[in-house]
């Protein structure tokens, strides 16, 4: 049983790698995905990048400077609320497509290999290890960064599975519980507490949406 976010991230990364290796991903590679403006290839590449980012940032030295909280991190996130063709979302699609250029089989193998090597990297990283996000020039604790990537993996595993017509792989509670906790915090920040309470408890007064983004 996982004891930490680091252990949980390894489970999430393994789920992503196994889905990327599904034959249906290769069959639908060039087709539109369930996400607006994404092809399956770009979505698969974006999913794989969530594991690669962790590996790359751990290879860099621990940064100096103030550490940002998760609340501040998401408050400053330019992609939240951005339109499909706004720069943050264009960047995400293009980087996903670039990462997918290696093809579905190599991408799946790459993600599996990266996930397999992270256990030792996590064990060597101190509890207070920090990482610098190069695309935002901000610093998070490693564990907070892992939670942001776990959320991306859980959400995009579902997107990719729906896109290629396979059942969404089940994630263990050790993965889903912290992700749902993060999404709940973000939904409350966006909508307020009362709409969320109503959505969860009173169908007759539930708002149209309490989506976190």
Tens of pLDDT along 111-155?
999 999 999 999 999 999 999 998 888 999 999 999 999 999 999
Tell me the pLDDT tens digit for each residue of 24-54.
999 999 999 999 999 999 999 999 999 999 9
Full-model pTM: 0.95
3-class DSSP assignment, residue 32 = strand
Q: Which helix (H) or strand (E) holds 130?
A: strand 130-133
3-state helix, strand, coil in the chain (%, to 5): 65, 5, 30
Contact (CB, 8 A) for 16 and 47: yes
Average pLDDT over all residues of the chain: 94
Closest CA to 78 of 130, 134, 135: 135
Q: What is the mean pLDDT of residues 65-76?
A: 92
* Alpha-carbon gap, residue 124 to 27, rounded angstroms: 39
Residue 3's pLDDT band (boundaries 50, 70, 90)?
low
- Residues facing 130 on adjacent strands: 141
Q: Is the pLDDT of residue 81 over 90?
A: no
pLDDT of residue 1: 36
Q: Is the pLDDT of residue 2 over 90?
A: no
């Amino acid at each position: 049983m996982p004891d930490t976010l680091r252990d949980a991230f390894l489970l999430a990364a393994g789920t992503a790698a196994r889905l990327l290796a599904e034959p249906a991903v290769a069959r639908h590679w060039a087709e539109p995905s369930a996400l607006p403006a994404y092809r399956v290839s770009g979505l698969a590449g974006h999913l794989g990048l969530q594991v690669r980012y962790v590996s790359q940032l751990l290879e860099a030295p621990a940064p100096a400077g103030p550490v940002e909280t998760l609340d501040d991190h998401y408050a400053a996130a330019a992609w939240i609320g951005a339109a499909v063709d706004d720069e943050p979302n264009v960047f995400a699609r293009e980087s996903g497509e670039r990462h997918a250029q290696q093809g579905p089989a190599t991408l799946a193998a790459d993600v599996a290999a990266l996930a397999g090597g992270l256990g030792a990297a996590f064990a060597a990283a101190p509890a207070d290890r920090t990482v610098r996000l190069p695309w935002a020039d901000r610093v998070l604790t490693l564990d907070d960064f892992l939670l942001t990537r776990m959320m991306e993996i859980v959400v995009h595993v579902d997107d990719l599975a729906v896109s290629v017509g396979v059942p969404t792989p089940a994630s263990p509670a050790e993965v889903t519980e912290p992700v749902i906790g993060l999404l709940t915090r973000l939904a409350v920040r966006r909508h307020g507490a009362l709409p969320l309470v109503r959505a969860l408890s009173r169908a007759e007064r539930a708002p149209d949406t309490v989506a976190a983004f």
